[in-house]
């Protein structure tokens, strides 16, 4: 059975969208400075309300991926390209428009519009060069607010990244961009995006060609298995036609995300029966848009407008090239272009991606996570909200983490939630009296993992019912016991935090076609994470 988006989530997404659009119009009115909708969100805390009447913006336990055909079953769907299904009267979300094959905020389509993560900074001092531009060829030309990095942990530069080529289709929902939850601003909400009809052999050939396109940066291509939800990744829906989305006619469509702040975007390549290399060109261009690349001149270029030269193996440009824009409209990352080329209408494909993503190479450093709040063995009054705060770190951006909350007496998992907003903090509301375990799990783009565990008590010790009907509590020394991932006891005798060893592990088993990386640049001032 296909899981549908909970109404509470839809309402919350709509409210957030209206707030965003209100801010967008204000910024667009002044100097054509437009907020990147995928830019850093205000800091805050996730809330998990475990009362029966609790109103949660999303389920406390993230649901599993909906059932889908296995990649190995693609030949069962092979055949001619499916006839386009006429779409009902559906439109892009309010405030977004389509410019060729890119979806952008309406204000960002205006000529010369500057799409930035922090409009307030750009408007406050528009002539000031942005600091820390060691990779920019023209640092004095870069507007304020561009290439500042992301102050949320996981958004540090350079990043590692994963791109999932989805050949098996699925039901998507509108109202935001989140590849892990099948959320896409371009989706026909609740509509089944069809399975690719080119067959397994051609799908593999497409994936291999796309992997070659991105081999100069640390962006791996996977397709056999979907990445775990904890890991930020871009998803490309391959197959169908534009009528399976809310977009207009095109060979593919994608959101334009300057500096790839979203890290969980969804794009589309409406490809089924063309030669594999042509399909790969389209797929790579749509991925390029999610990474902040617009269209350029050049019939040998992946980012060439209208896939002009799509009959051959195209490449990402390695020099500044003139961008192509629709008359009267713009859709380019102007500030980024100024960094690498000194002018808004020139784009350097490879340097744009090299600045955001790490260089090829292995990643053997596991990420680290520490639960800084609550302390291990802490006790909270009955009915009190329990704050959870994490300190997360990795040597490259692009990592993700989640919180798992378990009732130690019953063994029930009460919450298992990925921190999609990267707040690194939760408030747990409505916990009954009893003993609990909070487990933080972190994963990087090389599938290295780490975790930390603490236990805590709500209410007076000894009042929580255990699974055998007796009462649980302390062992007489004032400590509360818990278990680690292997079921071993993990008491704390001194009240300090219990830190599980951090080591590579937790391999997901999905196929890696391009594994690349480089040493991290020095962290910028104001980075949102620190070593645990």
Kindly state the helix (H) or strand (E) to which residue 393 belongs, with its residue range.
Answer: strand 386-393
Q: Are 435 and 409 in contact (CB under 8 A)?
A: yes
Backbone angles phi, psi at 487, to 5 degrees: 85, 10
Which tokens hold the place of 423? 């707040």
Encode burial over 415-439: b for 16+ CB neighbours within 10 A, e otherwise: bbbbbbbbbbbbebbebbbbbbbbb
- Give the whole-angstrom CA distance, residue 311 versus residue 232: 32
Kindly state the helix (H) or strand (E) to which residue 329 belongs, with its residue range.
Answer: none
Question: Which position has the token pair 């290295």?
Answer: 448
164: which strand partners?
222, 235
Say how many C-beta atoms besides its own lie within 10 A of residue 248's C-beta.
Answer: 12
CA separation (Å) from 102 to 109, 220, 266, 325?
Answer: 10, 23, 12, 11
Q: What is the pTM (predicted TM-score) of this model?
A: 0.83
Give residue 507's pLDDT.
38
* Secondary structure (3-state) at 459: coil
* Secondary structure (3-state) at 259: helix
Question: Which position has the token pair 């334009």?
Answer: 256
User: In terms of C-beta density within 10 A (0-12 exposed, 13-18 middle, 19 or more buried), how is residue 500 classed?
Assistant: middle
Give me the tens of pLDDT residue by residue for the chain, a chain 532 residues long: 333 334 344 434 444 444 444 444 444 344 488 999 988 878 899 999 999 887 898 999 999 999 999 999 999 999 988 888 776 667 888 899 999 899 999 998 888 888 888 888 778 776 676 666 777 899 888 888 888 777 789 999 899 999 999 999 999 999 899 999 999 999 999 999 999 999 999 999 999 999 999 999 999 999 999 999 999 999 999 999 999 999 998 999 999 999 999 999 999 999 999 999 999 999 999 999 999 999 999 889 999 986 544 568 999 999 999 998 776 677 789 999 999 999 999 999 999 999 999 999 999 999 999 999 999 999 999 999 999 999 999 999 999 999 999 999 999 999 999 999 999 999 999 999 999 999 999 999 999 999 999 999 999 886 544 434 333 333 333 333 333 333 333 333 333 333 333 333 333 334 333 333 333 333 333 333 333 3
Give residue 464's pLDDT.
47
Percentage helix, strand, coil, to 5, in the chain? 20, 25, 55
Give residue 81's pLDDT.
84
Give residue 482's pLDDT.
37
Backbone angles phi, psi at 91, to 5 degrees: -135, 165
- Give the whole-angstrom CA distance, residue 348 versus residue 363: 27
Q: Are 135 and 142 in contact (CB under 8 A)?
A: no
389: which strand partners?
373, 425
The CATH number fitting domain 368-504, selected from 1.20.1260.10, 1.10.10.10, 3.40.50.720, 2.60.40.10: 2.60.40.10
* Secondary structure (3-state) at 23: helix
pLDDT in tens, 363-411: 999 999 999 999 999 999 999 999 999 999 999 999 999 999 999 999 9
Kindly state the helix (H) or strand (E) to which residue 188 belongs, with its residue range.
Answer: none
Which tokens hold the place of 324? 């192509």
């Amino acid at each position: 059975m296909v899981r549908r988006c909970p109404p509470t989530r839809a309402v919350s997404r709509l409210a957030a969208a209206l707030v965003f659009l209100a801010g967008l119009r204000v910024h667009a009115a002044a100097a054509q400075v437009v907020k990147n909708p995928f830019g850093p969100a205000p800091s805050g805390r996730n809330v998990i309300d475990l009362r029966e009447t609790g109103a949660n913006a999303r389920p406390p336990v993230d649901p599993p991926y909906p059932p889908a055909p296995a990649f190995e079953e693609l030949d069962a769907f092979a055949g001619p390209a499916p006839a386009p299904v006429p779409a009902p009267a559906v439109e892009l979300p309010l405030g977004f428009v389509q410019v060729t094959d890119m979806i952008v905020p309406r204000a960002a389509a205006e000529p010369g519009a500057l799409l930035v993560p922090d409009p307030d900074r750009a408007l406050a001092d528009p002539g000031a060069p942005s600091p820390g531009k060691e990779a920019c060829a023209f640092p004095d030309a870069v507007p304020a607010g561009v290439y500042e990095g992301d102050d949320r942990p996981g958004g540090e530069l350079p990043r590692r990244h994963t791109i999932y080529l989805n050949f098996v289709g699925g039901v998507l929902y509108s109202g935001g961009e989140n590849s892990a939850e099948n959320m896409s601003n371009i989706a026909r909400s609740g509509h089944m995006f069809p399975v690719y009809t080119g067959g397994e052999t051609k799908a593999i050939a497409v994936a291999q060609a796309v992997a070659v396109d991105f081999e100069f940066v640390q962006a791996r291509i996977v397709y056999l298995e979907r990445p775990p939800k904890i890991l930020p990744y871009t998803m490309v829906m391959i197959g169908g036609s534009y009528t399976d989305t809310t977009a207009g006619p095109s060979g593919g469509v994608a959101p334009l995300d300057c500096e790839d702040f979203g890290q969980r975007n969804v794009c589309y390549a409406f490809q089924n029966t063309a030669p594999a290399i042509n399909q790969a060109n389209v797929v790579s261009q749509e991925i390029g848009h999610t990474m902040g690349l617009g269209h350029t001149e050049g019939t040998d270029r992946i980012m060439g407008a209208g896939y002009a030269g799509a009959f051959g193996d195209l490449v990402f440009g390695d020099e500044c090239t003139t961008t192509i824009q629709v008359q009267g409209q713009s859709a380019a990352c102007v500030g980024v272009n100024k960094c690498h080329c000194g002018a808004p209408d020139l784009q350097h494909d490879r340097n744009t991606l090299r600045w955001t993503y790490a260089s090829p190479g292995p990643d053997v450093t596991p990420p680290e996570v520490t639960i800084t709040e609550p302390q291990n063995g802490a006790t909270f009054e009955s009915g009190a909200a329990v704050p959870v705060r994490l300190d997360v770190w990795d040597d490259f951006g692009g990592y993700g983490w989640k919180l798992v909350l378990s009732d130690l007496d019953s063994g029930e998992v009460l919450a298992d939630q990925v921190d999609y907003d990267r707040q690194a903090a939760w408030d747990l509301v409505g916990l009954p009296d009893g003993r609990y375990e909070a487990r933080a799990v972190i994963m990087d783009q090389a599938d290295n993992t780490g975790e930390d565990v603490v236990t805590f008590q709500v209410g007076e010790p000894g009042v929580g019912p255990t699974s055998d009907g007796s009462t649980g509590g302390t062992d007489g020394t004032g400590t509360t016991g818990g278990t680690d991932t292997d079921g071993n006891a993990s008491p704390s005798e001194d009240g300090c935090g219990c830190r599980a060893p951090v080591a590579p592990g937790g391999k997901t088993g999905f196929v890696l076609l391009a594994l690349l990386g480089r040493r991290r640049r020095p962290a910028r001032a104001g980075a949102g994470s620190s070593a645990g």
